[in-house]
Amino acid sequence: MAKRYIYYKKENLYAIVACISYFIREYLLPNPFSNLFEPGIAELVNYILGGALIFLAYVLTGTWYVSRKGEYWKGSLGFLINFSILTCLILLISDFITNIYWVSGIFLLLYIILCCAEYILLNKNKYIF
């Protein structure tokens, strides 16, 4: 009976983190393309390229997170943090540079550096997460 309670408690924790993550990503984070395009076009670009941003955050989280039974909330929290970092990165770059090619090139370079940094820092030190 105690094992069953612990299992459901961990699954409930994942559900709570996933709901909070969705709420933050959907309603609290700004549109990362708002500095590059006009407001109407920025929303359309966000719908199209937002999926790519989700995929990039998923890959970035996968550099250090290994799915273990009952610890899915850690991956969900890491995904939220990585998605927020990537969104802020695009906003920060586009504050200074308005050329879409330069922004995408600098973003990809910083993304590769971020992937390597998270892999080195978080993958070896398994006691952090």
Q: pLDDT for 75-121, tens place per residue?
A: 999 999 999 999 999 999 999 999 999 999 999 999 999 999 998 88
Say what the pLDDT of residue 8 is. 55
Q: The domain containing residue 15 runs over which residues?
A: 2-124
Q: What is the mean pLDDT of the chain?
A: 87
pTM for this prediction:
0.86
User: Number of folded domains in the chain?
Assistant: 1
Residue 23 lies in a domain: yes
Cβ burial, residue 52 (10 Å; 0-12/13-18/19+): exposed
Residue 129 lies in a domain: no
CA distance 16 to 30: 22
Residue 105 lies in a domain: yes
Residue 86 lies in a domain: yes
Residue of 76, 95, 86, 74 lying closest to 23 (CA atoms): 76
Rounded to the nearest 5°, which phi and psi values hold at 44? -65, -45
Which residue is listed with tokens 């609290």?
28
Residue 15 lies in a domain: yes
Residue 91 lies in a domain: yes
